Structure 1
Amino acid sequence: MRRLTQATAIAAVAMLVFAGCGKKTDDSAGDKASTDDCVEVDSTKKVGMAFDVGGRGDQSFNDSAAKGLDKAACELGFDVQTAEAQDGEAESAREGRLQQLVDAGFNPVIAVGFAYSASVGKIAAANPEVDFAIVDDGVEGDNIANLLFAEEQGSFLVGAAAALKSESGNIGFVGGVEVPLIVKFEAGYKAGATAVNPDIEIQSRYLTQPPDFSGFGDPAKGKATAEGMFDKGADVVYHAAGGSGGGVFEAAAAAGGKAIGVDSDQALTADASVKDVILTSMLKNIDVAVFTYLSEVDGGTAPTGPTVYDLSVDGVGYSTTGGQVDDIKEKLDEYKQQIVDGTIKVPTS
């Protein structure tokens, strides 16, 4: 049975990469735990995860999902296997990746990212005995769980931070691909910035248009786009562009500006040469959603339908690593409370 939870609560696939995991975690996915702290792997509990473009190691979206998977492997004993997406791949490749995980005996299967929407719908319907979860998409099915987030709410807070910290009154937004999900980030960011300063100038650019999803894995394009914004007067640029964000950080460092990370606390995960330019990051706690889902599976009940993680349960938020927003934290938390209590309604488009 599907339920709505407010967590306010086919040919062989070319270059398909599988990586098995057990009693270990990965540095790129978050804090590394000693394998001595982990339970033994239970080979009867098999979970597969299909990453989006950029894969494990993107220091952002995929790594946040991987962190939750690693935690489930360590603490719950799941035997896990992951599959990597490729730039420019056809829909059949995504379908094949999911089916190959199913054929290998992995259940549940978690797809990371809205690009898997059609393929999850098709493969889940063809395999009703297997449980599926998808991050960031609402595709329906009796055996599909949708792990969703109020990205606009977290983006409002970092937009407010950008406006409070900007000295030029000019800030930027770099989106990876212009799709409704990423537009939610842009809408929230603009709303937060204009709540602080109605006259602020906001430059906005997207790296690619669908069906080209390479905008989530092209640091060079991210750098060039952000450079243009800094050249035109911006002093803070927020990216919602996955692996392309590394280029935004490089541009900020070269321009003497600031950048805002996304999904993970990127002041902890980015290259040491650019960590100091990261003002804050919009936290999207995909790891919490993945681990919560797998905990319920481990308990014997696989969730179905949408679960929304918002500010009220810290499903989204902002980071304070580096202390660069300590002086405005009180103001940001006031905005957070106004969003939680409904005083502020954050737009999604």
Structure 2
Amino acid sequence: MKKWLQTLTLSTVAVLALSACGSGDDNSSGGGEAGEGESTEPSEFKVGMVTDVGGIDDKSFNQSAWEGLQAFGEEQGLEENTNFSYLQSGSLDEFEPNLRQLVRDNYDLSWGIGFLMEDAIRTVATQNEDAQLAIVDTVVNDADGNPIPNIANITFKEHEGSFLVGVIAGLRSETDKVGFVGGVEGELIKKFENGFKAGVKSVNPDAEIEVQYVADFNDPTKAQQIANTMYSNGTDIIYHSAGDSGNGVFTEAINRARNGENIWVIGVDRDQYAEGEYGTDESVTLTSMVKRTDQAVQIVSEDTMNGNFPGGEILEFGLDDSAIDIAESEQNLTDEDLSAVEDYKGQITAGEIEVPKTDEEYETFLETVE
């Protein structure tokens, strides 16, 4: 296990650390019984997750989170569907009932995967104060803006990794036209977009960057249509942050690559080299921006089992603790690409570059490179 994970509970970036279990009044119909300082025997511990609409096979953050639970279960000798399991959401309306189901079934920790689950997990947590819940990719507060003691908030510095793949795109584009395809526009995906654009402009100030949103994390057909338009207009590299919709970008790129076009896709959340494979030992995946959702899920689950549930805390992982990086598959990268990545990675971790997250920060950043 990575060193950053072993030391996470001792050195995590916690904005507020509150009690893990809320008040002593039990108004819930179930939920975990292990509170702060109370460990649970592995054979008795139950942890479950509710997927976002992308589903367990989205080849992105839902799949990565499930792989983290599977790794946790294997390490602890736990039984799938008894000690750890998942409920798949087909629509946003299923988030809340699925979370309630895990609480009713007395899961010690219930995960909500994705920022779209914010409202659902807030409702379930406030109505079940003894339940222990965790969410990936957002911070959930109560109506007054205060942290909720029985929700652990897992976040990442996605803009930092997006900057690095933007550097690669800026260096490798032969047309000086690159694209970004997002899922649902909002604070989280804007971090991917603006970090990427900043990386591109850092090495290629004259590059054109086209941005479009699918408005859905589960519509690969629409994403393929967007990619088709971008590639037809001369874009030769597209970075997607669109969940299952992003598979449509790969489909379009593979179709074109088979016809001899020199175009690329940059994957997200996990190493997506395989998603771009076609022919023999060929892939349209230039690289991927990787965030270790799997290991974050694994360590927080283990901490909770050991009585150290980080309720009310914000855990933020970035480049400096190896939770964000580019993918290990480097078949399509050059030595120049890798050297530039290491150079900019050092500048970011040293605080010499502040990677923008918002549109306003990006506009300010542009003044330093133009």
- Shorter chain as denominator, the TM-score bin is 0.7 to 0.9
Alignment of 1:60-99 (within 5 A): 60-78=60-78, 79-87=83-91, 89-90=92-93, 93-99=94-100
**Aligned positions, number:** 305
Structure with more relative contact order (C-alpha pairs < 8 Å, separation 6 or more): 2
Distance 1:251 1:344 in 2: 34
Q: Show CA shifts across 1:259-291 (max 9, x none).
A: 0000010114x2643860000000011001101
Contact 1:66–1:287 (Cα < 8 Å) also in 2? yes
Q: Does 1:172 align with 2:179?
A: yes
What's 1:232 paired with? 233
Distance 1:303 1:101 in 2: 19
Contact 2:276–2:285 (Cα < 8 Å) also in 1? no
The percentage of aligned residue pairs carrying the same residue is 39
Q: Does 1:308 align with 2:316?
A: yes
Distance 1:46 1:345 in 2: 40
Contact 1:320–1:326 (Cα < 8 Å) also in 2? no
User: Which of residues 339, 343, 347 in structure 1 aligns to 2:352?
Assistant: 343
Runs in 1 of length 4+ with deviation above 4 angstroms?
A: none
Distance 1:347 1:224 in 2: 29
Distance 1:112 1:326 in 2: 35
User: Which of residues 330, 333, 337 in structure 1 aligns to 2:339?
Assistant: 330
Q: Which letter does structure 2 place at the counterpart of 1:279?
A: L
Distance 1:241 1:116 in 2: 16
Please tell me whether Structure 1 or Structure 2 has the larger radius of gyration of its CA atoms. 2
Q: Which letter does structure 2 place at the counterpart of 1:337?
A: G
TM-score (norm 1): 0.84
Q: Show CA shifts across 1:73-124 (max 9, x none).
A: 110234112111113x33xx32111111110111110100011111111111
Contact 1:76–1:298 (Cα < 8 Å) also in 2? no
Q: Does 1:273 align with 2:274?
A: no
Contact 2:276–2:284 (Cα < 8 Å) also in 1? no
SS class of match (1:106): coil
Distance 1:76 1:171 in 2: 44
Contact 2:277–2:285 (Cα < 8 Å) also in 1? no
TM-score (norm 2): 0.79
Q: Show CA shifts across 1:150-187 (max 9, x none).
A: 01000000011111111110000000111110011000
State the superposition RMSD in angstroms.
Answer: 1.9
Q: Which letter does structure 1 place at the counterpart of 2:342?
A: D
Contact 2:238–2:265 (Cα < 8 Å) also in 1? yes
What's 1:13 paired with? none
The answer to which structure has the higher strand fraction is: 1
Q: Which letter does structure 1 place at the counterpart of 2:89?
A: A
Contact 1:267–1:322 (Cα < 8 Å) also in 2? no
Structure 1 runs not aligned, ≥5 long? 8-40, 209-214
Q: CA deviation at 1:51?
A: 0.5
Distance 2:149 2:157 in 1: 23
Q: Which letter does structure 2 place at the counterpart of 1:199?
A: D
Distance 1:288 1:190 in 2: 27
What's 2:13 paired with? 6
Q: CA deviation at 1:245?
A: 1.2
